[in-house]
Amino acid sequence: MTAAVQDRLPKTGRGRHAARPDGFYKPDPSAGPMRTADGSLQVAFAGEDSRAFTYSFAGLPLPGMHEELAAAFAARTGPAGGRRTLASARVTWQAMAGMLRFLASLQRPPQNLGALTRSHLEPAPAAHPVAAMRDE
């Protein structure tokens, strides 16, 4: 590159510091699970694609697992999570709901996540999303 061309290019230099917000960071309270009036849990999703949806645990079996799964789902689909579009959140929801329905169909389903064992996952058909958890 010639000196004449270099003279016409914009000069780089030290940038300005980014503006800092006042106070301490406080996460958005709506990013976690919320209890409804009837006591069931909901997780509100707001995606980067500007689409939103509220997922309700009310119709899902095994209520002893709902609180921990709602927290995990909220973390996965929240601002710092990896599921940032409605489509990817829906796939995650369907896998989780399917797992709960499968576990509830067992003769002796686990009543909470602490009681979940490998033997609960053994009967899962190979094509079922639960089977992938079994094989890890």
pLDDT in tens, 2-22: 666 556 555 555 666 666 667
In a domain? residue 90: yes
Task: Examine residue 52 and state whether it is found in any structural domain, yes or no.
Answer: yes
- Binned at pLDDT 50, 70 and 90, residue 115 comes out as very high
The answer to whether position 13 is within a domain reads no
Task: State the chain's mean pLDDT as an integer.
Answer: 83
Instruction: Between 5 and 111, name the one with better pLDDT.
Output: 111
Please, what sign has the CA dihedral across residues 36, 42, 48, 51?
negative
Q: In the block, which residue shows the tokens 């697992």?
A: 65
> Do residues 123 and 106 lie in contact, with contact meaning Cβ atoms separated by under 8 Å?
yes
119 part of a folded domain: yes
* Residue 9 counted as domain residue: no
Kindly compute the dihedral angle of the four CA atoms of residues 63, 65, 68, 73, in this order, to the nearest 10 degrees. Answer: -80
| Number of independent structural domains in the chain | 1
Query: Residue 76 domain-assigned?
Result: yes
Domain-embedded: residue 62 = yes
Q: How far is CA 6 from CA 1, 9, 11, 50, 112, in A?
A: 7, 5, 9, 43, 67
Parent domain of 53: 31-134
Residue 134 has a pLDDT of 55
Confidence band, pLDDT 50/70/90 cuts, at residue 124: confident
Asked whether residue 6 is domain-assigned, the answer is no
